[in-house]
Structure formats: structure tokens, C-alpha cells
Chain A
Amino acid sequence: MVGLLLVAGAWALWVAGHNRLWREAGREVVRRRPLALAMVCLFVVTALLDATSWVGGSGAPDGGDLVSLHKPRSMIDRAFPIDFQERSYSAPLARTEFYGGAPLLHPGKHLLGTDIIGRDVLHLTLKGTRVAMLIGGLTTLIVIPLALLFGVTAGYRGGRVDDAVFFLISTLAAIPGLLLLIALITVLGRGPVQVCVALGITGWVGLCRLVRGETLKLRELDYVMAARALGVSEARIVFRHVLPNLMHLVVITFVLLFSGLVLSEAVLSWLGIGIDGSWGQMIDQARDELSRDPAITWNLLSASTALFLLILVVNRVGDAVRDVLDPRTVREMW
């Protein structure tokens, strides 16, 4: 799955690098939002580090137990000692347990404290990055081809095809999104891929409508007529004259959809149908901890902060991308 995402990303960058317009747009985005872009890269790298894992080299003095020895550990896991675990809650940098005051195994080492079963919160938060990236990336990878396929065919062919696609879109749009999501996840199951598919199925409608409208406009433009007058085939017109002129929409939607999707996963987690290990799930679990006395806040705070930061920087970059690529058409949609 990660490989697929990487290949898609690399391909997009390669194509963009070979086209002067895209190169210039990319440079402009970097110029406008250097900090946010750097943060996004940081998130991506964290996710990638967590995605590369292998078995062995536990580093524990006694070699660890057999189960943990044969469990693949990612680069992020390896940044922490293998037995980096307490018995229960401990506050950030505390030397004793939060309730009872028993001494910790690793006093003062847990930067963000530990959760109810003693796992390091910093470790969990970092691992959450991967889930967030997976949701955003994989879902957009499902949404974009779907939306392009249906949107372009509907817009370009018009007539019956358009009616059929629009019927589908209206039907999907008529069902409350969250209900459909819950239903889909109940049917498909709760794995990360399944959740992404469910989010994809509910999420392509907006982009599809946008693409259809834009295609309707493009197909009437003079250069499409000029191409037709030169004897260019319809398929070639779609691929050379319509699709490239839609790409700015796709890029903008990719960035803006990304943060929206990560947020909807948090909502799903709150309902108890999210992906294991996501920030949403951490926040969901931390709800009860707030009512304890004294309250446990670090769990909630670190997951929320991470989520907030990711959404913030992605949105900042998204704004810049939108301004650079298209100052006009997309704003109404969001």
C-alpha cells in the first residue's frame, strides 16, 4: 500500500517536473509557504519511517521475549527501547506513576507521559502519523480516478451518460454522508483499507461534479473545436486537451480533500469505527480520562495537537496551491 502511494507520488512529481508550468507553480508554492511545506514533508518522512519495518535487532539487554523478537519493528519503533513501557499512566517526564506513585521503569524518559496500559504517548503519536497519511493518501487515490472517470465521461459525452452519472451523484449526495459511511464500514469491515474505500465512495461526488462542470466548459472551447477540425480523435482530445486542463483541479482537490479526510477519520473513531492506532482513536480513548480525578490530559493533548498541526499545515499549503494554480474556479466548492 505504501509502495503504491510512493509510486503514485513519484510519478506525479516526475510528470510535473517535466512541464514548465507545473515546475513554476511548484516553485511559487515553495516561495509562499516554505514553513508549512517543510512541516508537511516532516509528516511524510515520519510516516515513511514508520512504514519501513523489519524483524530482529531488538536491542534489549536480555534479547526480549520471543513474541517481540519476531514482530517486525519500524524505524520509529526502533527509536525507542523495546521494553519502553510502564504499568499504567504517568505524567510527562514524571519519575513515578500518576496514580499510587510507584517508581517507573524508565523514570523521566517519557517526554509526553504514558497511557492507561503504560505505552509511551510520544511513540503512539508518531505512529499515528502513518495512519493519517494512509487515510489521506489512499482515499484520494481512490477518489481522484473515480471522479475523473465519471466526471469527464459525463461532461464530455453529455446526454444519457451525463444523466446516468448525475443520477448516481444525486443519489449518493442524498444519503447523509455519515450514515452511508457507517453502513459501508459495517459491511466492508474495519481495516484501514476498508475505511479508506468507504471514505472514497462517499467522497468522490464533490470532485466529480466539479470535473463534470469543467469538462462541459472545456469541450466547448475553441481549441477543442480546433483540434477536432484538424482531425484529432475524440479519445486524444480527452487525453491531450481536456484532462491536462483539469489537472489543476485535481491537485487542489487532493490537498484540500486530504485534511478533510483525516478529520472525518477522527469523527469515525469517535463513533468507534475508526482505524486502530489513529489519532482519532487516541482522542476517543482520552475522553474518559478527562473525567478522572486528577484528569489525564497529555494523551488527549498530544493527539489533538498532532492532528491540528497536520491539518493546519496541509490547509496552508492547500491554500497556496489553490492560489497559485487557480485563483477563481474552486473557491465556491469549499
Chain B
Amino acid sequence: MSERVLEVRNLQTAFPGPAGPIPVVDGVTLHVERGEVLALVGESGCGKSMTAFSLLRLVPKPGRVTRGSVRLDGHDVLALSVPELRAIRGRDAAMIFQEPMTSLNPVQTVGVQVVEAIRLHERVSKAAARSRTVALFERVGIPDPGARFDAYPHQLSGGMKQRVMIAMALSSQPKLLIADEPTTALDVTIQAQILDLLRELQRETGMAILLITHDLAIVNELADRVAVMYAARLVEEGTREAILGDARHPYTRGLLSSMPALARRGEPLTEIPGTVPAPEEWPRGCRFASRCPRAIERCPLEPPGEFALADDHLVRCHVVQQEEAP
């Protein structure tokens, strides 16, 4: 087995609610290997972003990680002191966000912000950091990088800003890049460019990427493995081929069949009936049970365990389990 950059075990993150804590991430176990792209997929509000925030202990108050362990390149993130944690953030794992428009400080030039990021983790002179920034800008495809150094965020387009964010994230050569819906706020042509850039950079530097997205087309483009999340829990995990080609969990199948690119021409797109239940209405068992077309009697009562269909294909579903191992 190759080296694991990130290993998450049984992670639970919860927010206090009127009737006890409400978990937004519930028992998530996953890992990312060196140089691998893992896509974390799920619909809005399923806990994808909170999982990402938990990895670097960035969960906004009053939420907090209540259980589990996160090992990032050998460090036990949840046990680190605050200064140690700061040293890890950005250096071992960097993050890019959904909204490039607001991810940059409006009153500083973008160059200065990248220089700051470089000098945070390395003792280099301002001049050296500056030339490295210009080189990074060039690398992420910013035209005329020398001049863009002195631009303020409002003078750049969304795509350019996302490139700046990527440059900033790459500045300390992180081993893991957490990309939280990196292209959601961009228009389609720019999306494709940014995805190409991410793939190129990933091949070149060999860093691992944890890609958080709800867009299965992006998964198809970029991911090596896929983890599917529903209502704070992982439901299925496997290689891209396994998930996109041979999905077993009814939820994953529902997601796939509602995708225009994979649906057959002339037939209406299928949709998953109902909506995601609110946390206080979660059934004791499988949380998808109320919307599942194949649900059986025990589904809402008993949480399904992890079931390995193959070495690299895990699923949590009573029905599948029954079919495969009667």
C-alpha cells in the first residue's frame, strides 16, 4: 500500500442544537494517498465542506470535532497545539475555496498576499518571495504576471482570482490540496481551464488533492477515487470507474441518473424523490431510507455497516449487502 497523506477515522463534527449536538459530519472514514485525487461528492448541505474544515480544525464556532482522528502526513491534527497547527496549515495542507470573489483581501494587492503566504512558512527575503510569486503567477497561467502582482482583487476577474488563490495555496508546496468546490462560482469555460490547471499542477508536483464537489462531470475529469456523502455520512466509496460505472448504492445511482451527460437522449431525467431530511428528522437507520426506492423493512431501523464489494469499493446499504452476501 502506498503512503497515505491523509487518513481520517470515524470523524464526527457537531454543532450544538436545542436538543443536544447535531452532527454535520458523522463517522466519516477516508484516506488520500500520495499523488491521488479523491473526490468527495454530495449535494449541498450534506457535510462535505464541514468535513474539509474539520481536517484543518477550521470548523466555525460553535461547531467542533467531537470524535475521531485526523492524521495529516503523520501529524495527529486533532491533538496539535495551536502554533503547531498553524505551522501545518498551508504547509502540509492548503485550501482553496468556492468563492474566489471574496477569498482575497480587498485592500491588499494580490502579489502582497501571496508574498505573505510564502513568508509565513519560510524565511525568505521579500525580494525572493516576490520573484517566486511572479513565477507562481506565471505557472498558474496569469498573463503578464509582473504587472498583475500589483493589481488589487477588484481589478481581476473571477477566474484570475481563483488562479491567484491556487498560486497562494501552492506557494508552500503542500502535500495535500483541499479544493472546496473550486469551480462552482466560475462560468463553464473558466471552469474547464481551472480544472485543466489543477490536473496539470497535480501531475507536475505530485501533490494529493481532496476535491469537494457536487458536480459529477468534474469528478469524471479529475478524480482517481470517489467518496459519496449523504446526510453527514459516507454511503459509497470506490475508484472513479467503480463509482461512475458500477455504482451500487441507490443514492449514488440516483445522483448518476439525474446527470444530463449520462442520461439517454430523449428520455426525461430521473430525479431522487423528496428532499434531504433535516438533522432532527434523521431516521435511526440508513438516512436515505425515506427517499430510497429499494428500501426494505430494516433500512430505517438499523444503520447499515460498511460492506466491501471489492478491495476498493465500499458501500453502506442493507439491500446491496443482502444481495451480495445472503
Interface on A for B, CB 8 Å cutoff?
A: 19-21, 158, 220-223, 225-233, 240-241, 244-245, 247
Kindly state the separation between the CA atoms of A17 and B152 in the bound complex, as whole angstroms.
Answer: 16
| Cross-chain contact of B120 among A158, A220, A231, A247 (Cβ < 8 A) | A231
Contacts of B99 in A (CB 8 A): 222
List 19 A–B pairs whose Cβ atoms lie within 8 Å, in order of A's numbering. A20-B109, A21-B152, A222-B97, A222-B99, A222-B102, A222-B103, A223-B106, A225-B58, A225-B97, A225-B103, A229-B89, A231-B87, A231-B89, A231-B91, A232-B116, A232-B120, A240-B116, A244-B108, A247-B107
Say whether, besides A229-B95, A230-B168, A231-B120, A245 and B58 are in contact (CB < 8 Å). no
Interface residues in B, total, Cβ within 8 A: 33
The minimal Cβ–Cβ distance linking A156 to chain B, given in whole angstroms, is 12
Residue of B nearest to A223 (CB): B105
Residues of chain A within 8 A of B95, CB atoms compared: 226, 229-230
Q: Do residues A221 and B89 form an inter-chain contact, with CB atoms below 8 A?
A: no
**B88-A231 in contact (CB<8A):** yes
Contacting residue for A230 out of B61, B102, B108, B117, CB 8 A: B117
Contact of A229 with B94 in the complex, beta carbons under 8 Å: yes
- B317 smallest CB distance to A (angstroms): 34
Within 8 A of A (CB), among B37-90: 56, 58, 60-61, 85-90
Asked if A230 and B94 make an inter-chain contact with CB atoms under 8 angstroms apart, the answer reads yes
B85 → chain A closest CB, angstroms: 8
Measured CB to CB, the residues of B under 8 A from A are: 56, 58, 60-61, 85-91, 94-95, 97-99, 102-109, 116-117, 120-121, 150, 152, 165, 168-169
Q: How far is the CA of A232 from the CA of B113 in the complex (A)?
A: 11
Q: Which of B107, B109, B152 is within 8 Å of A245, CB to CB?
A: B107
**A223 CA to B106 CA, complexed, in Å:** 9
State in angstroms the CA–CA spacing of A228 and B98 once bound together: 15
Shortest CB distance B129–A (Å)? 14
Inter-chain contact A226/B165, CB cutoff 8 Å: yes
Q: Are B107 and A244 in contact (CB under 8 A)?
A: yes
Q: Which residues of A contact B58 (CB under 8 A)?
A: 225, 228-229
- In the complex, what distance in Å separates the CA atom of A241 from the CA atom of B108? 9
Which residue of chain A lies nearest to B61 when distances are taken between CB atoms in the complex?
A158
New contact pairs (17) apart from A223-B104, A225-B97, A228-B58, CB-CB < 8 Å: A19-B107, A20-B109, A158-B61, A220-B60, A222-B97, A222-B103, A230-B89, A230-B95, A230-B168, A230-B169, A231-B89, A231-B90, A233-B86, A240-B108, A244-B108, A245-B105, A245-B107
Counting from the closest, the 6 A-B pairs by CB-CB distance are: A231-B89, A230-B90, A231-B90, A229-B95, A231-B86, A222-B103
